[in-house]
């Protein structure tokens, strides 16, 4: 599909200027001023064109928990939030511990045909924390393994998994939690497992990505490891950046102000690689029973823009690096910047738009969010995937009918 976006402020990790962008056959063809083409034209005056976002950490609950979310509803939430690529965790039912489930998810994603979906495989078979032999049986490629939702308690199992991952050329995503210690202190639990997994990565040389970092101690350990040359990357979530002293149920918990301050310090000084949503939709009944998680795809940009850019911590170019370029690179996607040769995956945003979050209007099945009723800046107006408009502000009602 061919589309031309005219007179728009183009921002990515290394540019911020008024340009035209022409997408031909799904790929960015030209980025300059005064482009004229015989194709669909979108007037971007007054708006900002960003590379679409890529989420390193999502839960679409399919298979097994589709009453919470499915590939279609998750994809609709993604494009509304400006995402065209996501990485799904493996704690489904059954867990993604074999090629059949891996192929099922990828097949469903192609059927829905809204975003690019990558499916993570579990570190241990069925997330039981013991057996990693299923990794030898995979006949379908994956870039990541993770038991996200719980930590791998046995150090020898994690060591063996890292050594196998290194041979396979894939990255281990750590859910840094010792569940036995969590019953006593969640901060200590995260800190201990962060130190352990960094130590194992240092010993093996395996690429390690640490998910949803939330404590000042954990980010300090990551900073130290990076400065020592350990092959480690990390992510933080919008809710751990924006909130503190808040008892909304999420795992890891929302922390204290000094933790938020340290995470923002790490973002400003390039120690944080990625902002990831940890999109975890639940039903109202499951939340009332204590299920941890936030439905985050539809508010992620607004939260980050409001709390990081509007508050003066970073500029929009750095936010684009954290939400687009860096995660795209880690996931092997040809996205994340607005230059010729990259996928035609871009979004138009209205930075001046101030709105009040209304979770009832989410297209995700999960309406669970601590941001409900809060006022945020920055709204996605249009999402373009491979030159095709897959979301336009105001289309949510039509999408809900499809669901």
Which residues are catalytic, by number? 278
Written as one string, the DSSP assignment of 290-305 is T---B--TTTHHHHHI
Q: Cβ(84)–Cβ(328) under 8 Å?
A: no
Joined together, the tokens standing for residue 21 give 């962008």
Q: Cβ(317)–Cβ(11) under 8 Å?
A: yes
Joined together, the tokens standing for residue 235 give 């992510």
Closest C-alpha to 237, from 215, 216, 212: 212
CA trace torsion 141, 144, 146, 149 (10° rounding): -100
Q: Where are the beta strands (DSSP E) in 189-343?
A: 208-210, 232-236, 274-275
3-state helix, strand, coil in the chain (%, to 5): 35, 25, 40
Joined together, the tokens standing for residue 149 give 């939702």
Please write down the long-range contacts of 179-187, taking CB distance under 8 Å and 24 or more positions apart: 179/150, 179/151, 179/153, 180/153, 186/252, 186/253, 187/215, 187/217, 187/255
| Residues 361, 365: Cα–Cα separation, whole Å | 10
Written as one string, the DSSP assignment of 89-127 is -S-SSS-S-SHHHHHHHHHHHHHH-SSEEEEPBPSSGGG
Where would I find the H helices in 137-213? 155-168, 179-182, 186-204
């Amino acid at each position: 599909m061919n589309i031309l976006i005219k007179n728009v402020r183009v921002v990515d990790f290394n540019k911020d200027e008024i340009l035209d962008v022409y997408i031909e056959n799904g790929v960015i063809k030209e980025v300059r001023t005064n482009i004229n083409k015989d194709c669909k034209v979108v007037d971007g005056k007054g708006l900002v064109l960003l590379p679409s976002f890529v989420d390193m950490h999502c839960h679409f609950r399919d298979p097994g928990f589709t009453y919470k979310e499915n590939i279609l509803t998750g994809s609709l939430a993604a494009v509304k939030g400006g995402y065209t690529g996501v990485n799904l965790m493996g704690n489904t039912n059954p867990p993604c511990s074999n090629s059949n489930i891996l192929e099922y998810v990828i097949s469903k994603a192609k059927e829905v045909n809204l975003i690019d979906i990558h499916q993570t495989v579990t570190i241990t078979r069925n997330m039981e924390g013991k057996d990693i032999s299923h990794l030898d049986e995979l006949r379908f490629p994956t870039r990541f393994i993770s038991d996200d939702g719980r930590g791998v308690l046995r150090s020898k199992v994690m060591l063996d998994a890292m050594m196998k991952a290194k041979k396979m050329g894939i990255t281990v995503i750590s859910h840094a939690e010792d569940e036995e210690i969590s019953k006593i202190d969640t901060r200590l639990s995260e800190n201990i497992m962060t130190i352990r997994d960094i130590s194992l990565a240092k010993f093996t040389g395996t690429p390690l990505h640490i998910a949803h970092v939330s404590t000042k101690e954990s980010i300090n350990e990551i900073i130290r490891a990076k400065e020592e040359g350990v092959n480690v990357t990390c992510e933080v979530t919008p809710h751990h950046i924006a909130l503190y002293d808040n008892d909304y149920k999420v795992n890891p918990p929302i922390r204290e102000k000094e933790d938020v301050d340290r995470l923002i310090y790490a973002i400003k000084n390039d120690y944080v690689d990625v902002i990831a949503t940890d999109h975890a939709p639940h039903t109202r009944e499951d939340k009332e029973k204590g299920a941890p998680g936030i439905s985050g795809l539809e508010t992620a940009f607004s939260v980050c823009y409001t709390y990081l850019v509007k508050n003066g911590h970073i500029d929009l170019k750095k936010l684009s690096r954290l939400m687009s370029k860096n995660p795209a690179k880690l996931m092997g996607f040809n996205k994340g910047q607005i230059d010729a040769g990259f996928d035609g995956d871009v979004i138009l945003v209205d930075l001046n738009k101030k709105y009040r979050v209304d979770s009832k209007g989410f297209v995700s099945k999960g309406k669970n969010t601590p941001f409900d009723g809060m006022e945020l800046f920055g709204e996605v107006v249009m999402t373009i995937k491979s030159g095709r408009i897959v979301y336009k502000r105001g289309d949510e009602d039509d999408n809900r009918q499809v669901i």
